[in-house]
Amino acid sequence: MNIGAPPAPPGPPDPNHRAKVRRAIEDDIASGKLIATGALGKRATAAARITSKAGVLTVEEPPDGEGWMAAGGYALIDVTSKEEAIADAKAKLQIMGDGVVELIQVSEMHPQPNVQSGGERTVREGVDQRNIARIDHTGVGVANVARSAAFYDAALGALGLYRAAQLPVNDGGDAVGYGVGYPVFWIDRFHPHGVKQHTAFAATCRAEVDAFHAAALKAGGVDNGPPGLRDTTQGYPKGYYSAFVLDPDGNNIEAVFREKN
């Protein structure tokens, strides 16, 4: 989808509107529908244009030939039909307000969605990570949720994770769950603390590992292994770039980027 909108009105953006749009994006990420987003080049071979103006939605078929050339920001989504894509675009415009969404069928994309601008792959070649993930959520017990949350806000924030849930909802005094749209890692006061568990979080590149380590130390963590490639003679696979930090309860927290062999 190529998404366009009229110029923003003067003044600061409406925080409620921004939160609503963000929730919709998070839901699509969590469901697996949203595959990628950004401003990469692409060509349309089949398209539709859905416009919202003054609350009225219209659908325009593409011109003859190769259709429109899309430009600007986009979202790459996984749908089974053009009709499903049109319905999704209408739902997005109901949230966004007046604007235009152009649907395109992508025949070329450079770089590929699983490749960062520096050429580092975020998904190991030949392996669909969505089909091998079998852990719904995990976590550790902590002595002081507020203290540990300050540490994990910084450390996991460097990896793109944030507070996706908390108990109670107002303050998170009992538990905080981190993730992207869905809490996959919890810290809570209900489970035993001080048992020194190990949890490794995936990074998308070396720079994220470095940022995780620096942020964790600044937030009060204890260095347990600086960023770097691990020794294959000690059982690590080739290209295993990681860093380790002890959280306030002594849990061994790791960020790892597995480089392509």
Q: Can you give 25-54 as a three-state secondary structure string? A: HHHHHHHCCEEEEECCEEEEEEEEEEEEEC
Range in 133-142, 226-235, 249-258 with the lowest mean pLDDT: 133-142
Please report the pLDDT score of residue 212 as a whole number.
96
Q: How confident is the model at residue 120 (pLDDT cuts 50, 70, 90)?
A: very low
Q: How confident is the model at residue 187 (pLDDT cuts 50, 70, 90)?
A: very high
The distance of Cα 113 from the centroid of its chain, to the nearest Å, equals 13
CB atoms within 10 A of CB 45: 13
Q: Is the peptide bond before 12 cis (omega within 30 degrees of 0)?
A: no
Distances (CA, A) of 79 to 9, 46, 76: 33, 14, 10
What percent of the chain is modeled with pLDDT above 70? Answer: 61
| Top-level class of domain 131-258 | alpha beta
Q: If you average pLDDT over every residue of the chain, what do you get? A: 75
Per-residue model confidence as pLDDT tens digits over 202-220: 999 999 999 999 999 999 9
Whether residue 244 is predicted with pLDDT greater than 50 in this model: the reply is yes
User: Which amino acid, residue 17?
Assistant: H
Q: Which strands, in side-by-side order, build the sheet including 222-229? A: 198-202, 252-258, 240-246, 222-229
Q: How confident is the model at residue 2 (pLDDT cuts 50, 70, 90)?
A: very low
Q: What's the CA gap between 34 and 98, in Å, rounded? A: 22
Domain residue extents for the chain: 2-110, 131-258
Please report the pLDDT score of residue 105 as a whole number.
66
Please report the pLDDT score of residue 214 as a whole number.
96
Mean predicted confidence (pLDDT) in 251-258: 96
- Are 50 and 101 in contact by the 8 Å Cβ rule? The answer is yes
Please report the pLDDT score of residue 193 as a whole number.
86
Segment of 75-84, 86-95, 172-181 carrying the highest mean pLDDT: 172-181
Q: How confident is the model at residue 21 (pLDDT cuts 50, 70, 90)?
A: low
Per-residue model confidence as pLDDT tens digits over 131-180: 455 788 899 999 999 999 999 999 999 999 999 999 887 777 899 999 98
